[in-house]
């Protein structure tokens, strides 16, 4: 069962590689923010499954933090895009 | 038996996540990419989390955290996607050339700014004021969006 968890974590990270391509070549800033937001979601899932694989509950807080505070990053970036720096 | 259920759910979720990432990579437009990022990624995340709940039990620390992450994603992901789409439209990011209609254009508080030339630039500050501003000269509704 632990191998299944590790395989899922590695697969999520492998999916993130596609998003790195979009993060690199994205024509506008919004494309990069979309890719970054999705990458944080995938990273939260990967950390969750890695904690289930390794049997360490301390990593669960990292996953919760990633899942909840990527939202704040997207909100703040969109606010700057919308209204400028002031 | 339980491991088979976990594997099936994880494969379903990973397939949706892979299709979502491919959509973000291949879609022609920032709004289409936001659609892939919102719906498909959430749909890909939920079966994977349910797989972890099935694998470890809903009252264990892993399963309860997985349920909490699922609820957070369901609440937070549509809100951030909506804010990103709204900011991209207001900053004047152009739509795809083959887009048929732009239904938000004639509305009062929806000006993409007069300077919609360079993608990713900020709108001029005057266009951010709500109300008190005449809507931009709207073409025929449902017409072809000018490039």
* B141 part of a folded domain: no
- CB contact B11 to A (< 8 Å): no
Q: Is A76 exposed, middle or buried (0-12, 13-18, 19+ CB in 10 A)?
A: exposed
Q: Which two tokens stand for residue A70?
A: 């990527």
Contacts of A68 in chain B (CB under 8 A): 72, 76
| Candidates A11, A64, A74; nearest CB to B14 | A11
- Other beta carbons within 10 angstroms of residue B108's beta carbon come to 11
pLDDT recorded at residue B98: 85
The answer to whether the pTM exceeds 0.80 is: no
Question: Would you give the distance in Å from CA B113 to the centre of its chain?
Answer: 22
Q: Which two tokens stand for residue B96?
A: 């795809």
- CB contact A2 to B (< 8 Å): no
Question: Would you give the distance in Å from CA A16 to the centre of its chain?
Answer: 8
ipTM of the complex: 0.89
Question: Would you give the distance in Å from CA B108 to the centre of its chain?
Answer: 23
Q: Which two tokens stand for residue A44?
A: 């939260």
* B102 part of a folded domain: no
Q: Is B136 exposed, middle or buried (0-12, 13-18, 19+ CB in 10 A)?
A: middle
Per-residue pLDDT tens over the stretch B109-143: 655 554 444 444 444 444 444 444 444 444 444 44
- Number of independent structural domains in chain B: 1
The shortest C-alpha distance from B37 to chain A (Å) reads 6
Per-residue pLDDT tens over the stretch B85-103: 999 988 888 888 888 888 8
- CB contact B122 to A (< 8 Å): yes
User: By residue range, what is the domain housing residue B70?
Assistant: 2-90
- CB contact B93 to A (< 8 Å): yes
Task: Supply the CATH classification number for the domain A2-83.
Answer: 1.10.287
Per-residue pLDDT tens over the stretch A27-62: 888 999 999 999 999 999 999 999 999 999 899 999
* B59 part of a folded domain: yes
Task: Tell me the domain boundaries of chain A.
Answer: 2-83
> What is the pLDDT of chain A when averaged over all its residues?
90
CB contact under 8 A, A33 and B72: no
């Amino acid at each position: 069962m632990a191998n299944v968890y590790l395989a899922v974590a590695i697969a999520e990270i492998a999916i993130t590689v596609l998003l790195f391509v979009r993060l690199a070549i994205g024509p506008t800033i919004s494309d990069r923010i979309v890719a970054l937001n999705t990458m944080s979601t995938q990273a939260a899932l990967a950390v969750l499954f890695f904690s289930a694989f390794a049997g360490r509950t301390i990593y669960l807080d990292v996953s919760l933090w990633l899942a909840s505070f990527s939202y704040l990053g997207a909100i703040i970036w969109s606010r700057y895009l919308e209204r400028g720096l002031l | 038996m339980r491991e088979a259920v976990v594997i099936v759910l994880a494969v379903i979720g990973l397939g949706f996540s892979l299709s979502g990432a491919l959509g973000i990579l291949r879609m022609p437009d920032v709004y289409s990419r936001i659609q892939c990022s919102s719906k498909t990624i959430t749909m890909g995340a939920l079966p994977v989390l349910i797989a972890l709940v099935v694998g470890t039990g809903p009252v264990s620390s892993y399963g309860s955290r997985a349920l909490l992450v699922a609820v957070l994603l369901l609440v937070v992901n549509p809100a951030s996607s909506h804010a990103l789409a709204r900011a991209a439209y207001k900053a004047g990011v152009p739509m795809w050339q083959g887009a048929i209609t732009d239904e938000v254009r004639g509305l009062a508080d929806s000006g993409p700014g007069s300077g919609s030339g360079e993608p990713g630039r900020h709108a001029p500050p005057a266009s951010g004021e709500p109300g008190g501003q005449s809507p931009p000269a709207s073409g025929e509704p449902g017409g072809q969006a000018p490039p």
